[in-house]
């Protein structure tokens, strides 16, 4: 039987609309558990007030890592406080934790991104790490959030690094989808739509992304900024939702997970930034070096790292690099979604080649 998870129950997207959060959550439950990172409390103040005006809320601060220990803590709180809906506000790890805990506690789930750095608010799985920050597994919650609520004013006013990270992560939707689906001869309608969306986001990020980044830096909310926000969340989420496993992670995300084997360094980066380097590695593995160079030049223009040094791995030892590669090639990793075989030495060569693409320019 085909299981297809396309979208959240409801998607609300607007500009400066966070004060409407309470009235939307009210349609889902009577007692929300609110989860957010302490450092964004001022940013989401109007949203919290709109919830307090409707409910006697329970809340807890996110403790910084989407790990099974944190998921269980939140699940137990939901059950203990007899909440019937969880509202996760913040970045990807906060929302992944809220989704997993909400699923485990069998309550309604609301995700409210305050940055557009990933499509975590939309996705029907949670990326789970160890307490130290090493990638562990993808935990499928077998549903999307019941409500995704995005205030584009909040997301566009976040530091520009976040929207850049989201753009590069969204480029991976096409780079990985193209590799996985290329050998599939009889593509059904859902897969064709997902491929079309992935390619559309890829083309428009490359065409309009640089302008969007400059506008965010200058505090201008333009049509290009709006487009990037929607691609980072809506389009990226739909590609994986409609296309399923064929349009999700392949080598670029496996490389990202590989670098989490060195969490002290990895945690200074954003998820999308390391996936961006993984894009270059995958394109080289695919035999499309010219495209890798094109993407590297684009990333350089918008300020996304394209070398090991820029990500903090410049002095990486042979032993550490071996850990990264072994982690990226773990038997349950998405490296094996490639339509061809790779081995340790080929992946190592591709990483070193990606690292030197624009050296000297």
The per-residue pLDDT for range 150-207, each reduced to its tens digit, is 999 999 999 999 999 999 999 999 999 999 999 999 898 989 999 999 999 999 999 9
The per-residue pLDDT for range 237-263, each reduced to its tens digit, is 999 888 887 787 999 999 999 999 999
pLDDT at position 5, please? 59
The per-residue pLDDT for range 114-142, each reduced to its tens digit, is 999 999 999 989 999 999 999 999 998 77
Q: For the chain, give the percent of residues with pLDDT over 70.
A: 98
> Residue 16: is its pLDDT beyond 90?
yes
Which residues fall within 8 angstroms of residue 354, CB to CB, at 6 or more apart?
277, 280, 281, 284, 292, 296, 306
Specify the CATH superfamily of domain 166-355.
Dehydroquinate synthase-like - alpha domain (1.20.1090.10)
Domain boundaries, the chain: 11-156, 166-355
Closest among 145, 159, 64 to 116, alpha carbons compared: 159
Q: Cα dist. 316→304, 308, 311, 323 in Å?
A: 20, 8, 11, 11
The per-residue pLDDT for range 321-355, each reduced to its tens digit, is 999 999 999 988 999 999 999 999 999 999 999 99
Domain 11-156 has CATH 2.40.50.140: no
- Quote the pTM value: 0.94
């Amino acid at each position: 039987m085909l299981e297809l998870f396309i979208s959240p129950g409801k998607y609300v997207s607007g500009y400066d609309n966070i004060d409407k959060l309470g009235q939307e959550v009210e349609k889902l439950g009577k007692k929300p558990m609110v989860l957010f990172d302490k450092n964004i409390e001022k940013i989401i103040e109007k949203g919290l007030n709109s919830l307090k005006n409707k409910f006697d809320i329970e809340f807890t601060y996110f403790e910084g890592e989407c790990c099974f220990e944190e998921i269980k803590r939140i699940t137990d709180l939901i059950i203990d406080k007899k909440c019937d809906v969880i509202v996760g506000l913040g970045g990807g790890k906060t929302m992944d934790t809220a989704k997993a805990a909400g699923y485990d506690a069998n309550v309604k789930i609301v995700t409210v991104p305050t940055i557009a750095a990933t499509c975590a608010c939309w996705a029907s799985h949670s990326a789970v790490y160890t307490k130290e920050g090493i990638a562990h597994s993808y935990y499928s919650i077998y549903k999307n959030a019941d409500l995704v609520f995005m205030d584009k004013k909040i997301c566009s006013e976040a530091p520009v690094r976040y929207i850049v990270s989201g753009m590069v992560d969204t480029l991976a939707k096409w780079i990985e989808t193209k590799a996985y689906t290329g050998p599939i001869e009889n593509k059904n309608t859902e897969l064709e739509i997902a491929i079309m969306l992935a390619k559309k986001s890829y083309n428009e990020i490359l065409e309009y992304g640089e302008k969007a980044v400059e506008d965010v830096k200058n505090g201008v909310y333009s049509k290009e900024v709006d487009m990037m926000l929607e691609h980072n969340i809506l389009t990226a989420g739909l590609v994986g939702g409609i296309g399923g496993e064929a349009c999700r992670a392949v080598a670029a995300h496996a490389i990202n997970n590989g670098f989490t084997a060195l969490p002290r360094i990895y945690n200074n980066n954003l998820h999308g930034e390391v996936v961006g380097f993984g894009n270059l590695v995958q394109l080289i593995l695919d035999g499309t070096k010219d495209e890798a160079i094109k993407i590297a030049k684009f990333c350089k223009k918008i300020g996304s790292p394209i070398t090991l040094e820029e990500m903090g791995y410049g002095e990486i030892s042979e032993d550490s690099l071996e850990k990264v590669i072994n982690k990226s090639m773990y038997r349950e990793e998405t490296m094996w979604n490639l339509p061809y075989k790779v081995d340790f030495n080929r992946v190592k060569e591709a990483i070193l080649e990606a690292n030197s693409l624009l050296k000297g320019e």
